[in-house]
Structure 1
Amino acid sequence: MSRPTLLLSSFIALVIATATPPPELYSPLITSKIRTVAQGESNPATYPQYTDSTVGKWQYFQPDIWTSSFFPAMLYALNTRAKLCGTGDGDTWVELGRQWSTGVIPLETKNDVGHDVGFLSMPFVEEYYLNPTNQTATTAIQAFVADLDARFSPVVGCTRSWDTSDSDNFEVIIDNMMNLELFFVGETLTGNHAYRQHAISHADKTMQNHVRADGSSFHLVTYNATNGNVIFQGTAEGYADNSTWSRGQAWGLYGFANMFLHTHDPNYLMTARRMANYFIQNIPSGGVMPWDFNAPLEPARPADSSAATIGATGLLLLAEMEMSLSPANTSGRDFWTNAAVQILADTTSFAWRPEFQSLLSNGTVNNRASPPNNSTGIIYGDYYYVRAGNELIGLELANCSLGLTQ
C-alpha cells in the first residue's frame, strides 16, 4: 500500500515538526463552561448552535435542526475524557448526556433535518457503545438509520441532501460523508448489510465526483435523479463553484479516513491522504483557517475555527489508520499527528476565548447568508476541539496535566 505523498514546503514542515499540544485543550475552563450550560437545561428543550460575535453568548434553537445533538455528544466526550484522565466524574457526564438527548428523541419519528440525521444520532451511538442493551439508544439508531437509508437512490448511488424528492435534481453535499458512520452502526445493530453497501456506494460516488485531481473538493454535486448523470459541480456554502470550502474539505478528509476504518479499502485511505495534503498545504502561513481556501483576502477573509478542529480530528483519525497498516506507517502517523497538533495550536492561539460561553470564537456558520454569520463560537467547532484533545491523549501525544500549566 502506498505511503502518503508529503508535499509541504520545508518551512511549514519544520514548523509542524516542532508543534506541541496547547495546554488550553485540557483547561479546567472546558469542563466548567460545558457544565454551566448543561445545568441550565430548558423545558421544552433548546440547543446551543452558535454564539453572537461580540460577547460570545450562546444562541439556542428548537431541536429540529442538524446541530442539536452536538452538545449532548460533547457531554459524552467529557465522559471519555474523565476516563482518560481518571477524574472519577464520568457517570455525571453520562447522566447529563442522557438528559440532554431526550429533546432529540421526538425527531426519530418526524424531523426536517433530512440527510443530517447521522449527526442527530451521535449521543445515542455513544450510549450504545457504553451499553448495547440500552433501549433508548437502539431505538433511536434504528429509526435514524432507516430515515437516512430512505434517502438512498440506487440510480444515483448516493443519499440525497435536503428535501427535494419531487425534483429531478438529486443534490449531494460532501458533508454527507459524515453521516455514513450511522450506516455502519446500523448494520452492526440490525444485521442489515444493505446499510454497509449504501455507505460504500455513496463514498465511491463522492470520491469520483466531489474530489478533484489536486485533492480539493466540490461542496455540491447535482445528479439527474432519473439516470444518475452529473449535471452540476459547485457549492452552496463556499466562495465559488471552483473554490474549496474549508469545512467541506474537513468533512471529506474525516469521512474518507472513517470509510477506511470500516472497510479497509485502500482507495479511501489514498483519498483521505490527498484531501489531507490539500487541507494542510492551503492553510495560510499565519495558521488562521480561512472560511474558504480560495476566497480573496480583501475585504478581510473570515476565519473558520470549526473547519480547523474538524480537520485536526480527521487528521488524527488518519494517523490511526496509518498505524493499522501492516507494516505500520509510522512516518505517515507522525506527519498527520504533527500537522493536527500545529492546527490545534494555531487555532487556540487566535480563537481561544475565556470570556465567551463557547470554547472558541472565529467560526463561520454561513458566510453566504445576508448578513454573513461569522466570527462566532460554534457548537460543532467546540465538540471537535474536545474530541481532538481526547484523541491526542489516546495516542499518547498529550496528557491531562497540560491544562495545569496555564
Structure 2
Amino acid sequence: MLSSVTIVIALLLSCAQGAPQQSDNVLPAEAFSPLVAQKVLATAQQIQSPPRYPQWTDRNAGTWQYFSPDTWTTGFFPATLYALNDRKTLCKTKDATLANTNWLGLAQTWSAAEIPLEVKTGVGHDVGFLSFPFAEELELNKNNQTAIDAVNKFATALAARYSPIVGCTRSWDAADPTDFQVIIDNMMNLEVLFVSYEYTKNETLREIAISHANKTMVNHLRPDGSSFHVVDYNSTTGKVFRQRTSQGFADNSTWSRGQAWGIYGFANMYKRTQIFDYLKTARHMADYFLDNMPTNGIVPWDFNAPVASRPADSSAAMIAATGLLLLAQQELKSAPPNLSNYYHWLNGASSLINKMTELAWRPSWQSLLANGTVNNPAQNNLTGIVYGDYYFIRAANEMVRMGAVSC
C-alpha cells in the first residue's frame, strides 16, 4: 500500500517530466455520511448465537439475511469492521459513532467464528475470501498468532486444490472429477497465498499463485479485454474444453462482477510480483469495463445482456472502483510513473462510486447500498450485498489514503 508521501513524490517527478495533471475525483457526501458507521455498528451489535453472518438483504425493506459461517461471504462483514477501524484512523472526524466505537474489538469478535473453518469448511477455493479479516489483522499486528495460523491454514487448503497438470487451483467441485472448473473470481483468493508466503517463505505458495494467474490470462480473457466467467479444463490432460458463464447472461457475454474481480486480481498480482504482464492485463480488463459502461454510468449485471432485462449491480461497481484504485497505485510504481493512467483509473473509480451511490444509497435500509445483483439467473437481484458495502467503504478509504479526497 502506497503512503501519501510516496504518491506525492511520484506525482512531482511525473509533473517534472511533463505528464498531464488532471483529476475529476469528488466523492458523494454519502461516502462519508455518519450513517455508514451507524448502520454497520447496528449490525455489529446484533451478534447471534450460534453465529450467523449477513450476506444480502431482502428487496423491500433492506433487511439483512443471515447465513452460517461456512459461507464464502463470511469474511466480508468482519473485514468491513476493520475497514471502519481504518477510517477511524484516516479521518480525524467529529462523527461520534465512528470516533467512539471500538471497531477493532468488534472485528476480532466477528472473526472468531471463522476459526473452526480453518480445519473444516465447505467453501472450497473461497478460503481466500474467508482470510480477509485475518489479513487485515496482520496489517495492524504482524505478530498476532491467531491471524497467522488462520492465513497459513487457509493458504494450505487453497494450495491443496492446485493441479500441476492444469496449472490452476480448482474452483468448484464438479460431479465429474475430470471436469476441473476455474472461475475468474479465484483471482481474488490468490492473495492468501502471498500473505502466508510472507510468514512461511514457502515458495510453492507463490509459484501456485503465479501459475494460476498465468493460466487465467491465457484462458479467461478474450482479445478485447473481456472475460469468461468459467473455464473447464480436463484434469487429466490440462486442456480447455469449455469457456462459459454460470452467473452471466451467456457464455460469450461479460459478467460485470467477474470482470471486476479480474481487474482487482491482476492489479494485485502486479503489486505482489512486479510482473509486467499482470499490469497490462489489469489495464486491458479495466479499459473494457470503462469503455463498455452504459451512457447513464450505471454498472449492469452483464455488459452484453439485453437492456430490458439487465439489472444494475452496485457490488460489481464497488469492486471495480476499488480495483481501479489499486491499479492507479501500481501506475506510480512503473518506471517512469504513468501519471496519465493514474488519473484515468482514479477518475474512473470516482465516476463509478458517484453514479452508483446516486442510484443505490438507501438511508432506511440496513445495508448501505441497494441495487446489488447476487445471482441474476437465480433472480437474486435488487438487494443490498455485504461485499458491495465493504468495497464501498474500502474505495473511499483508499481515495483518502491516496490524497485524492478528504473525509
Q: 1:193 to 1:51 in 2, by over 3 A?
A: same
Q: 2:47 aligns with which of 41, 48, 51?
A: 41
Look up the SS of the partner of 1:222 in the other structure: strand
1:395 and 2:382 are equivalent in the alignment: no
1:373 and 2:380 are equivalent in the alignment: yes
- d(CA) in 1 for partners of 2:374 and 2:345? 26
- d(CA) in 2 for partners of 1:149 and 1:89? 40
Task: State the Cα deviation string for residues 1-46 of structure 1 (Å, max 9, x = none).
Answer: xxxxxxxxxxxxxxx9645211111111000000001111111110
Aligned residue identity for 2:376? N
1:335 and 2:341 are equivalent in the alignment: no
Q: CA deviation at 1:135?
A: 1.5
Within 5 Å, give how 1:6-405 maps onto structure 2.
18-87=24-93, 89=99, 92-164=102-174, 167-298=177-308, 300-369=309-378, 372-400=379-407
Q: CA deviation at 1:133?
A: 1.4
Q: Is the 8 A contact 1:19 1:345 kept in 2?
A: no
Look up the SS of the partner of 2:382 in the other structure: strand
Structure 1 window deviating more from structure 2 (91-100 vs 169-178): it is: 91-100
- d(CA) in 2 for partners of 1:18 and 1:131? 36
Task: State the Cα deviation string for residues 205-251 of structure 1 (Å, max 9, x = none).
Answer: 00000010000000000000001000000111100000000000000
Q: Is the 8 A contact 1:351 1:362 kept in 2?
A: yes
Aligned residue identity for 1:346? K
Q: CA deviation at 1:166?
A: 5.7
Task: State the Cα deviation string for residues 160-180 of structure 1 (Å, max 9, x = none).
Answer: 012238610100000000001
- d(CA) in 2 for partners of 1:85 and 1:184? 29
Q: 1:36 to 1:153 in 2, by over 3 A?
A: same
Q: Is the 8 A contact 1:30 1:359 kept in 2?
A: yes
Aligned residue identity for 1:271? T
Aligned residue identity for 2:355? D
Look up the SS of the partner of 1:387 in the other structure: helix
- d(CA) in 1 for partners of 2:101 and 2:385? 26
Q: 1:69 to 1:112 in 2, by over 3 A?
A: same
Q: Is the 8 A contact 1:174 1:206 kept in 2?
A: yes
Q: Is the 8 A contact 1:246 1:307 kept in 2?
A: yes
Q: Is the 8 A contact 2:264 2:320 kept in 1?
A: yes
Q: 1:221 to 1:295 in 2, by over 3 A?
A: same
Q: Is the 8 A contact 1:84 1:394 kept in 2?
A: yes
Look up the SS of the partner of 1:164 in the other structure: coil
Look up the SS of the partner of 1:324 in the other structure: coil
Aligned residue identity for 1:69? G
Q: Is the 8 A contact 1:313 1:388 kept in 2?
A: yes
Look up the SS of the partner of 1:60 in the other structure: strand
Q: Normalising by the residue count of structure 1, what TM-score does the alignment of the two structures yield?
A: 0.92
Aligned residue identity for 2:87? R
What count of residue pairs does the alignment treat as equivalent?
382
Look up the SS of the partner of 1:226 in the other structure: coil
Q: Is the 8 A contact 1:78 1:90 kept in 2?
A: no
Aligned residue identity for 1:51? T
Q: Normalising by the residue count of structure 2, what TM-score does the alignment of the two structures yield?
A: 0.92
Task: State the Cα deviation string for residues 58-86 of structure 1 (Å, max 9, x = none).
Answer: 00001011001100000001111111013
Aligned residue identity for 1:332? N
Task: State the Cα deviation string for residues 273-323 of structure 1 (Å, max 9, x = none).
Answer: 00000000111011111000000012x421100000000000000000001
Q: CA deviation at 1:352?
A: 0.6
Q: 1:165 to 1:132 in 2, by over 3 A?
A: farther
Aligned residue identity for 2:197? E
Look up the SS of the partner of 1:172 in the other structure: strand
Look up the SS of the partner of 1:374 in the other structure: coil
Look up the SS of the partner of 1:221 in the other structure: strand
- d(CA) in 2 for partners of 1:301 and 1:343? 17
Specify the alignment match of 2:15 in structure 1.
none
- d(CA) in 2 for partners of 1:76 and 1:361? 22
Aligned residue identity for 1:55? A
Aligned residue identity for 2:380? N
- d(CA) in 2 for partners of 1:131 and 1:17? 35
Look up the SS of the partner of 2:243 in the other structure: strand
- d(CA) in 2 for partners of 1:277 and 1:396? 24
- d(CA) in 2 for partners of 1:107 and 1:329? 42
Structure 1 residue runs without a partner (length 5+): 1-15, 401-406
